[in-house]
């Protein structure tokens, strides 16, 4: 997280979170905290709320006969949590998320697993059409508590320069 | 959706959903139904449950000052629903989701928007290491009711051949 206490009056401080374009340094790695333990409720609710009907995520009997032997956490849930955990370090001031490339699911995630994420700054460039903004490319990696990497992806975000965010 | 009524006894039918490797035809397009209207509750709950702290998704006052003028739906939510809606046509029998490439977010989605999705079969090949399974690549497109395309992505899944799914 990038956190500043913006002074808005005498002995008065407002939380201000997130990076401006100028704050990203190519090659820097941000370890996001806190992590998150994924529960059975998370997996079942998320799967059904997103209209996903694959029984591997909510039918333990079916899952017991699969090659995993138990329910698998929905990969859009792990992706969403990993992306969510990265926001306060990367995109909390962003104008928009532009997309992802190369989302690789490298290991199964199970209910009860605790996951963490970190992001490396791959590239940054000024926007040609928007002089007060820039485009930042990051690579995010999701790891379990035992250090197994279960997801990697690259994500591109449009971020404001200092003085040009919604709260400035 | 691919739906069969499997006869399990006299005048007794079990719902059987999803495609086997043999059922995918390269070039076929599957229009997924039903669609889904995304509510304010969807957007706020999803965002906070996935630890995403970007105010654009849950602070209407902040969002009113952004270039969108109102809350933007979290892009991992639209991705998750679009992927979820595609499951009964593409991956309900899948062993695993292998990953995504080229997720492009081409238009903003707002609370109250109704979204639909469709998938085209781009490629299929037998697995070299798993003779009873195959790898299928699909391109999924998410559109609003007014036909605006807001997301496209490619996804690769590992699916069983007929007779080799968990339920067979």
Which of B36, B76, B154 is the best substitution to test chain A (most A C-beta atoms within 10 A)?
A: B76
**Residue A26 binned pLDDT confidence (cut-offs 50, 70, 90):** very high
As to burial, measured by CB atoms within 10 angstroms (0-12 exposed, 13-18 middle, 19+ buried), residue B155 is buried
SS3 (DSSP) at B56? helix
Distance (Å) from the alpha carbon of A86 to chain B's nearest alpha carbon? 8
Exposure of B150 in the CB half-sphere (CA atoms within 13 A): 26
Distance (Å) from the alpha carbon of B26 to chain A's nearest alpha carbon? 22
Distance (Å) from the alpha carbon of B140 to chain A's nearest alpha carbon? 14
pLDDT, position A78: 98
pLDDT, position A90: 96
CA angle A123, B107, A18 (to 5 degrees): 45
pLDDT, position A27: 98
Give the pLDDT mean for A39-50.
Answer: 97
pLDDT, one tens digit per residue, over A143-168 is 999 999 999 999 999 999 999 999 88
What value does the mean pLDDT of chain A take? 96
Of the candidates A88, A86, A166, A156, the one whose C-alpha atom is nearest the C-alpha of residue A132 is: A166
pLDDT, position B4: 86
CB contact under 8 A, B84 and A108: no
Nearest CA in chain B to A93: B54
Residues of B in contact with A62 (CB under 8 A): 166-167
Give the pLDDT mean for A32-56.
Answer: 97
pLDDT, position A2: 80
**Residue A44 binned pLDDT confidence (cut-offs 50, 70, 90):** very high
Radius of gyration of chain A (CA): 19
Place of tokens 């339920």: B167
Provide the 8-state DSSP code for A146: T
pLDDT, position A40: 98
The structure's pTM equals 0.95
pLDDT, position A4: 86
Which residues 121-160 on chain B approach chain A with CB closer than 8 angstroms? none
pLDDT, position A81: 98
Which residues 13-72 on chain A approach chain B with CB closer than 8 angstroms? 17, 34, 36, 42, 46-47, 49-56, 62, 65-67, 72
pLDDT, position B110: 98
pLDDT, position A3: 85
pLDDT, position A145: 97
pLDDT, one tens digit per residue, over A67-126 is 999 999 999 999 999 999 999 999 999 999 999 999 999 999 999 999 999 999 999 999
Instruction: Mark B84-117 as b/e (b = at least 16 C-beta within 10 Å).
Output: bbbbbbbbbbbbbbbbbbebbbeebbbbebebbb
Instruction: Specify whether the CB–CB gap between B69 and B108 falls below 8 A.
Output: no
Chain Cα centroid distance, residue A13? 27
Instruction: Specify whether the CB–CB gap between A77 and A47 falls below 8 A.
Output: yes
Could you state, in chain order, the average pLDDT of each consecutive group of 10 residues for chain B (168 residues)? Answer: 89 94 97 97 97 97 97 98 97 95 96 98 97 98 98 97 94
């Amino acid at each position: 997280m990038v956190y500043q206490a913006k002074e808005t009056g005498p002995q008065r401080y407002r939380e201000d979170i997130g990076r401006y374009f100028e704050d990203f340094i190519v090659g820097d790695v941000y370890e996001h905290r806190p992590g998150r333990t994924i529960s059975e409720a998370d997996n079942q609710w998320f799967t059904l709320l997103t209209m996903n009907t694959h029984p591997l995520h909510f039918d333990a009997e079916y899952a017991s006969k699969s090659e995993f032997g138990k329910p698998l956490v929905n990969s859009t849930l792990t992706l969403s949590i990993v992306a969510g955990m990265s926001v306060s370090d990367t995109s909390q001031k962003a104008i928009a998320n532009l997309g992802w490339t190369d989302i690789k699911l490298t290991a199964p995630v199970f209910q009860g697993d605790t996951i963490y994420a970190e992001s490396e700054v791959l590239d940054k460039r000024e926007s040609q059409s928007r002089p007060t903004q820039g485009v930042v490319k990051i690579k995010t990696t999701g790891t379990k508590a035992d250090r197994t990497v279960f997801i990697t992806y690259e994500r591109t975000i449009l971020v404001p320069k200092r003085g040009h965010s919604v709260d400035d």
